[in-house]
Structure 1
């Protein structure tokens, strides 16, 4: 006998189980990736930062961008300090995120290295006046922190959901770029329905690469 209530319960249980499985896979990926990053030498990180900076700065889309939304790198992430400074000296209007209590991202102007102060969770944040969560919509290029990116453009972040919310506000014609080390461009990553794809990735050895 068909029992619609039982079927609904089973369907909900399957959906919940799938979500838990994706979360568990992501957690395992994060642990592995963060461990590998911790093993990189200071020399390797510095060389990677220079290569990524140069690859991005030479891209026509970045050269012509009036406004770039980026981020101040954290811990063992590919270092963005040189990139931010170069964009700023070039005259590009650079926006950096400020983490809100609900983990959404507000945005403010980067005005040089001395304009950054410690924020929540060890993040460096700009001291300029906040522009609001929708300020990212006006950026010509959005540079996104990533633990890994796969060849379809799927990105793995740290799990807070901040950038998925921010990227949901960005139009499909805007270049969104993940910065990762060579081994962090992978074939496939676990993904949930709310996860947002990137349109490009930059690695130290491979440089800039458009993604489908």
Structure 2
């Protein structure tokens, strides 16, 4: 049975998706370069040697430039692979990664597949989101993969969501399973919103 919160989220996701589709290629490229710079700085500040990130789709804030650069600098980058059972497998990014279309039409790596627990060793998680509010509550796209992953980790590292500036909102509708993030990275700012749960 649908709740009011689900309806609110569905309407908000539709609006955010539409807003992302209106961006021009030039706007996307500029945002991706700025995000790569900010993520590089975040990795350096945290001293992260092993991270997880996602391969951005066309409409998502770009992460591919950052992933390629991180791999070249010798950082171990795990990329998610969606599974039908709602869990995420992981593959180690390489410089010449081939990309295929995953379960939901999202780009996924083709490297050797590691199981869901591989992510437990990372120093930093960089994840997608539809929006994040100022208290650190994240709203994803409704499939729950990252909520499930973060919620099941014994020692969760800092988790940063990559979004556009207009997607940092004052307050988001939330459900019990929703997981907060440590902060967000947008083209213009890196915000610390809540403290990592160690």
State the TM-score, normalizing by the size of structure 2: 0.92
Say which SS state the counterpart of residue 96 (structure 1) adopts.
strand
Number of the residue aligned with 1:182: 165
Check whether the contact 2:79–2:90 (CA below 8 A) recurs between aligned residues. Answer: yes
Give me the whole-angstrom Cα distance separating, in 2, the residues matched to 1:60 and 1:121.
28
Say which SS state the counterpart of residue 37 (structure 1) adopts.
helix
1:211 is the counterpart of 2:193: yes
Q: Are residues 123 and 156 of structure 1, via their aligned partners in 2, closer, same or farther at CA, if it must alter by over 3 Å?
A: same
How far apart are 1:81 and its partner, in Å?
0.9
Number of the residue aligned with 2:53: 70
Which structure dedicates a bigger proportion of its chain to helix? 1
Instruction: Kindly report structure 1 stretches of 4+ aligned residues shifted beyond 4 Å.
Output: 60-63
How far apart are 1:96 and its partner, in Å?
0.5
Give me the whole-angstrom Cα distance separating, in 2, the residues matched to 1:159 and 1:184.
16
How far apart are 1:169 and its partner, in Å?
2.9
Give me the whole-angstrom Cα distance separating, in 2, the residues matched to 1:94 and 1:173.
16
Give me the whole-angstrom Cα distance separating, in 2, the residues matched to 1:171 and 1:178.
20
How far apart are 1:190 and its partner, in Å?
0.5
Gaps of 5+ in 1: 1-15
Whichever of the two has the greater Rg, that structure is 1
Gaps of 5+ in 2: none
Say which SS state the counterpart of residue 54 (structure 1) adopts.
helix
Aligned residues: 194
Give me the whole-angstrom Cα distance separating, in 2, the residues matched to 1:178 and 1:84.
15
RMSD between aligned residues:
1.6
